[in-house]
Structure 1
């Protein structure tokens, strides 16, 4: 909106003590002032058209929200003649600049101007061109967008200021020629793409966010932030052009590991890949409505600001570097930096290393770092090298990706067999990363679970330097102690939990003489599969305590009922609320499934998996005690007309991402490699903050490290969610869960059950119906009307596209869950889905090979069919 303020005459009134303006004159002046205001408002615009100029106090104001303003400004009040053309926030008390055009060449004249030429080039001039005077020399050129086009399009060009803060030059028919987001200054705004190479039609240039020289001087300063030119995906801050000042660390899927205490994924950062932009790049889309920006300050600090709603002033969210350990290579190579309470650095050599220059090290000069002593076994033709895990550490710089391995065992072996490899890391999101023998820029982290496996000779590994007799003595003592403890527990408690469960399997019914309570231990400790590195204790509750907690399984405490039995709310003596799952005698889940769920869930600990607190096996009762989810299951919201409106698109998308991350843990990050086999809306529980947690692992199966699929003669699950190869052939894999996830994704988008499409015209299932709508360019009609006002249609359509890829007929054509997460968090191109051929009615699948023992169990709206005797 060009705001044209008065440049000309100023009304002057001379008055004396004996003369005063009449009321009629005052009324005239007020009317005139009002007309001027109306005229100024009418003249406001967000667009500078071809051939137009902007100068003086005139500005552009973005529309329709008027978030940003563009025009000339003088940042230094002591030098008002030094003017720059830029963009700043509109309507905020303290003017905040986000982009500057002529930052390297300030205007010297009193009336600089910006103009859009007939060839589509935006120019900042040190003065205003004289109208009608051909002989007059043009004013000096301070800055240009360098985007001249050979032929002007029909209708010409225009420069438009958007509500995102982007100043765009485009043709009237919508072709984008130039964008200020492609050529940033010191600020990262929502909607930007942080790339290695700036996009656009001109010569490829490196994208850098360069600080101001000072708080009042926008000329390029000493510090610049950008992506690693080698393609590692890390962000760096360089000082004076090429001196590394700070490093973000590798991206782990939700965050840079050098900033573990503030998940950038939640702030709107997401990775993508495009070779034309230099490989890996990041998109930034603010996930909240607050004004938020990242800026490189003149002192080299990368800081995130957010506007306080109460004061409309900027507050600091986080900043880097914030202590001496966050400066690049603060302790030199092969050393770990620990930040003290005052922010000072404390350096220590890694195990197996010693200071390179002892005198300098003792004097506090750590720049030379440490060197190996003793050398690796492979360096002196010996064997026995191993690895020492170092937890909570920022991974070193200069990692390389080993693409030939797909699991941690292969990654470890690859590093062990390469004498020049000094350390490795393997995770489900980063894959196999390895480092050379010099490890640079490592610091201790206060939070996070980032572990580096440091390669050491056998003599430096824990326990290997003790004499054999000492080792034998320690081992013998430990064995004797364990045996003694087991004997005491055996005589005192009778039998342990594993014996009790196996004994119950061997008996189909409990006889009267065996109906007494099993005398079992009060807790079972699992310490081999936990998320936080601590052991998880599973409690065993007596039946009388469970009865007291649930008011003797009162109907008033019942939360719901599934295919395997009712679920009750209970309150333990300490006041802890729990969910109690009581398996029915005639349920589809027998002792085998009960054992499966107890052992499996006790070892699976993840924020998106429901937590099993304990169990109870007494008489003929089989009971599981879970953490209580106050919002119950997803279907209670998604398919309830009274609660559907509580799930806007933002909440639904967060639920989608949470489910996907829970599956990623099951499929890749857990050593057990679990296939859930019964993923559906009723098995997704919601905590108090509406975070999703996958539940009900009675049907889950574990895979071996070298297994990709499994064949079963017992097909169990819920029709509508079961993949074709599993429902018809009994073959299941992690891709079976991906199919169920795709169906669940369509349910979340449509707000309708999968079974509700079974009676649709043409008898399509939800996947077939969604594909037909997508193929006919009617995918938007699938969106739940309740979320249309709150959703980004483009994002929802992308989710529908991803869901269709997940429900492909053939398992090998479906993406794995890791690829699904990348698709959800990026805007990369997606392959076209194939049309599903299995568009079946929602009836029980019949098999000519099924025996007479086939039976179907239906409770409420949940259908569960078992096929035996294949």
Structure 2
């Protein structure tokens, strides 16, 4: 039976429709129109889609030309053209004219009488040779271009309520005509895209900070001044993580932009209720997650407490208003009645206001700086900034930041001051001498009290030490009686070690590696009988000597010290493990010697010794610039990757620290000292041990307190090591600083308060890539999180280090290591601590 013509026609239509769907276009050419039955899809990834859409399901006939995220439900609109004029006709259209102007019509493009709902107002002459085209990009930008590809118009220049990666917030979006605010304007409601009451933008007079205004000119929220890393009003959210930065253009002036540094979709939206919200797509569910929001509490709203007052948050995000020192309520009756918006006035006046001298400054910590600051030129240090404020009677406060804001002054009215519990910056408030003398008296009393308390503490410590000496003598007598039996046990194990040594193995290159057993006489000859002049250093295992073999090869000879905290088990463990592990970032074991009571390991010689000899030495710190330090971090990570995943054995090192990272001639790092290492089976993830060994400051919380170790224990130690390489300070050297026990707690506090630059070693601070250092600090904080499951594994860490555009999660604060609670409480009467040279080792035995 022959097919009917109608059937052929139907098949032709279906095939044509299918072809159009498959080859969805990203371009609208001159003379073409887009109707409700078609869309434009961004190229090449198809992230965004443009077309007509009804945001309000109750009013499906009200259509808007929108750009939305493709494939995310519910539909999320990022830009709207005809916000003020919805299309209500049966067939609205978008067309591109010969002059390069986009037009939304409430009817077909060929209908000359169709009402104009919106246009791009592109004023240019008709383009020759093919005309104009409009194209949608994967960034969400909808552009009109000429035949040469030059942008004539861009939707990014005319935002709606959403800021996308690559957009700019500036005073004048296109740099043409008089300065006018470029605003991100909220929707009227969740389903009505017409312009709402709230808008976010920059003030032409003070473009260094962002505002949210209500009804055009009433400030609702202020970000605070930009410091180069974040806004001072958002201290707990370092926006450089999101790619935020400030720029300056000859035509645009000051502007802010951000480039997403992760692969997740991200957007900033001004909501209909006047908030600025950052959303990010969860990859697992493809749903939007709120990352942060401003304002959230009463103190974050603009000038809640009026002028010259400071706002602090109490219960339920409520505001507590207090006059700044040296001020009193402007209207005491209204203030006492709870109406504090009128603020405070000076009382007593400044000395300069009554022809007196002696005005000084009080530093107020953890605050959002006031509004209406002005930059003072020609000032190069803090003393100059302070003096210029002191000599200007109209100056009420100042701040100085060398590398960020420079010198900022404020006038007599200090508006919108918010004091955080943690974070923020210092503000130097000008006060008359009478107010400062009162403070000096308080400090004198505090000093006397502190001296008395210190004296009593010294007396108590002396009595405790004297009692400890008596206990130590008794313990020493008992230990000597057990020493002879321990020696006999060690001698019995010598043959077991010899039988366990693998004499031949393969390197990572597939080449044979032979482990030599050397005689004691040969070792003595190589080291000049362990001469002190050949001694390279000393660690927990024992002294290390430089040796020269008969062929002239230089080697490092590590000799087990008889009173070492390590012994037969560690020696055997290191010989067996390291002989099987061959990687360019692991130190190479060349041989060993077992003779009598002597247990000796022979390694390749590292002329630059260990990492700690550089980063903790003030004279050598400058020799390691940031590029070299970053290469060392990457090299250590690659060595750990081999241990954890790529070697035939799965190894947990358990004692990763700066002194166990050796540096070769080219400053390449090599992990050493495998005496504490343990082998994992293929299906094992963690071990539990009654014998906790390692170095204080590097041990993960679960290992130090519960004896549980895994590859994540090495990740924790690696995070501590990154922080040491960046700061140039030992992990335990932060004890007592701001109540933080170790470097992890201190680094978290600085990061959370957005003071990361203070962590950077001063010898590299001026020449390093601040952005890259900040990212490494962020990665380190992810590695030192309290819970092992929260830490990334080493493959993920290497990806973070090598790809600076990959997403970084927000680290959790290392609460277990702050203030020393967990570590101090974990110590028991069964704990034994050993200190050998500069190396500390702690052994915790199960009760």
Normalised to the residue count of structure 1, the TM-score between the two structures is: 0.56
Query: Is the 8 Å Cα contact of residues 609 and 695 (structure 1) preserved in structure 2?
Result: no
Distance 1:157 1:341 in 2: 59
1:125 matched to 2:105? yes
Aligned to 1:694: 725
Match of 1:170 among 145, 149, 161: 145
Aligned to 1:114: 94
Q: How far apart are 1:278 and its partner, in Å?
A: 2.2
* 1:21-70 Cα shifts (integer Å, max 9, x gaps): xx999999996786355233255211100011112222111122221111
In the alignment, structure 1 segments of 5+ residues that lack a partner are 1-22, 132-136, 495-508, 512-542, 561-565, 569-583, 611-628, 647-677, 699-732, 749-785, 793-870
Aligned to 1:404: 378
Distance 1:734 1:486 in 2: 35
Aligned to 1:224: 199
1:63 matched to 2:37? no
Aligned to 1:254: 229
Q: Give runs of aligned pairs for residues 483-502 of structure 1, distance below 5 A.
A: none
Distance 1:346 1:196 in 2: 34
Match of 2:158 among 176, 179, 183: 183
* 1:351-403 Cα shifts (integer Å, max 9, x gaps): 22111101111111111101111112222222222222211111111111122
Aligned to 1:297: 271
The aligned length equals: 572
Aligned to 2:241: 266
Q: Give runs of aligned pairs for residues 784-823 of structure 1, distance below 5 A.
A: none
Aligned to 2:347: 373
SS of the residue corresponding to residue 425 of structure 2 reads coil
Query: Is the 8 Å Cα contact of residues 182 and 200 (structure 1) preserved in structure 2?
Result: no
Aligned to 1:89: 69
1:75 matched to 2:59? no
Distance 1:62 1:595 in 2: 52
Distance 1:376 1:739 in 2: 43
1:352 matched to 2:301? no
Distance 1:456 1:599 in 2: 40
Distance 1:156 1:354 in 2: 68
1:237 matched to 2:212? yes
Q: How far apart are 1:493 and its partner, in Å?
A: 9.0
SS of the residue corresponding to residue 172 of structure 1 reads coil
Distance 2:116 2:320 in 1: 52
Aligned to 1:148: 123
Aligned to 2:364: 390
1:431 matched to 2:406? yes
Distance 1:40 1:740 in 2: 52
Aligned to 1:458: 433
Q: Flag the 1:289–1:550 CA change in 2: closer, same or farther, 3 A.
A: farther
Distance 1:585 1:682 in 2: 10
Distance 2:608 2:138 in 1: 58
Aligned to 1:634: 634
Q: How far apart are 1:479 and its partner, in Å?
A: 6.4
Query: Is the 8 Å Cα contact of residues 261 and 804 (structure 2) preserved in structure 1?
Result: no
Q: How far apart are 1:410 and its partner, in Å?
A: 2.3
Aligned to 2:31: 51
Distance 2:303 2:568 in 1: 56
Query: Is the 8 Å Cα contact of residues 683 and 696 (structure 1) preserved in structure 2?
Result: no
SS of the residue corresponding to residue 360 of structure 1 reads helix
Query: Which has the higher relative contact order, 1 or 2, with Cα contacts under 8 A spaced 6 or more apart?
Result: 2
Query: Is the 8 Å Cα contact of residues 68 and 89 (structure 1) preserved in structure 2?
Result: yes
Q: How far apart are 1:683 and its partner, in Å?
A: 12
Q: How far apart are 1:548 and its partner, in Å?
A: 8.7
Aligned to 1:100: 80
Distance 2:398 2:362 in 1: 10
Distance 1:188 1:488 in 2: 62
Distance 2:220 2:284 in 1: 35
Q: Flag the 1:359–1:787 CA change in 2: closer, same or farther, 3 A.
A: closer
* 1:422-442 Cα shifts (integer Å, max 9, x gaps): 112222322222211211001
Aligned to 1:317: 291
Query: Is the 8 Å Cα contact of residues 601 and 697 (structure 1) preserved in structure 2?
Result: no
SS of the residue corresponding to residue 345 of structure 2 reads strand
Q: How far apart are 1:83 and its partner, in Å?
A: 2.0
Q: Give runs of aligned pairs for residues 656-695 of structure 1, distance below 5 A.
A: 687-688=718-719, 693-694=724-725
SS of the residue corresponding to residue 86 of structure 1 reads strand
Q: Flag the 1:301–1:484 CA change in 2: closer, same or farther, 3 A.
A: closer
Aligned to 1:796: none
* 1:585-634 Cα shifts (integer Å, max 9, x gaps): 99899xxx9899478999x9xxx999xxxxxxxxxxxxxxxxxx999733
SS of the residue corresponding to residue 393 of structure 1 reads strand
* 1:753-790 Cα shifts (integer Å, max 9, x gaps): xxxxxxxxxxxxxxxxxxxxxxxxxxxxxxxxx99997
Q: Flag the 1:342–1:402 CA change in 2: closer, same or farther, 3 A.
A: same
Query: Is the 8 Å Cα contact of residues 98 and 132 (structure 2) preserved in structure 1?
Result: yes
Query: Is the 8 Å Cα contact of residues 164 and 191 (structure 1) preserved in structure 2?
Result: yes
Match of 2:21 among 20, 41, 49: 41
Distance 1:319 1:252 in 2: 20
Query: Is the 8 Å Cα contact of residues 175 and 252 (structure 2) preserved in structure 1?
Result: no
Distance 2:341 2:588 in 1: 62
Q: How far apart are 1:741 and its partner, in Å?
A: 7.5
CA RMSD of the aligned region, Å? 5.3
Q: How far apart are 1:261 and its partner, in Å?
A: 2.1
SS of the residue corresponding to residue 305 of structure 2 reads coil
Query: Is the 8 Å Cα contact of residues 630 and 687 (structure 1) preserved in structure 2?
Result: no
Distance 2:127 2:38 in 1: 26
Query: Is the 8 Å Cα contact of residues 392 and 447 (structure 1) preserved in structure 2?
Result: yes
Distance 2:630 2:769 in 1: 23
Query: Is the 8 Å Cα contact of residues 171 and 182 (structure 2) preserved in structure 1?
Result: yes
Normalised to the residue count of structure 2, the TM-score between the two structures is: 0.58
Q: How far apart are 1:256 and its partner, in Å?
A: 1.2
Aligned to 2:600: none
Distance 1:550 1:385 in 2: 69
Q: Flag the 1:165–1:567 CA change in 2: closer, same or farther, 3 A.
A: same
Distance 2:350 2:572 in 1: 63
Q: How far apart are 1:140 and its partner, in Å?
A: 2.1
Q: How far apart are 1:198 and its partner, in Å?
A: 0.6
Aligned to 1:755: none
Q: Flag the 1:26–1:174 CA change in 2: closer, same or farther, 3 A.
A: closer
Aligned to 1:327: 301
Q: Give runs of aligned pairs for residues 201-212 of structure 1, distance below 5 A.
A: 205-212=180-187
Distance 2:360 2:348 in 1: 14
Distance 1:91 1:313 in 2: 11
Distance 1:151 1:410 in 2: 58
Query: Is the 8 Å Cα contact of residues 292 and 305 (structure 1) preserved in structure 2?
Result: yes
In the alignment, structure 2 segments of 5+ residues that lack a partner are 467-530, 534-561, 582-586, 590-604, 647-664, 672-714, 730-760, 777-798, 806-847
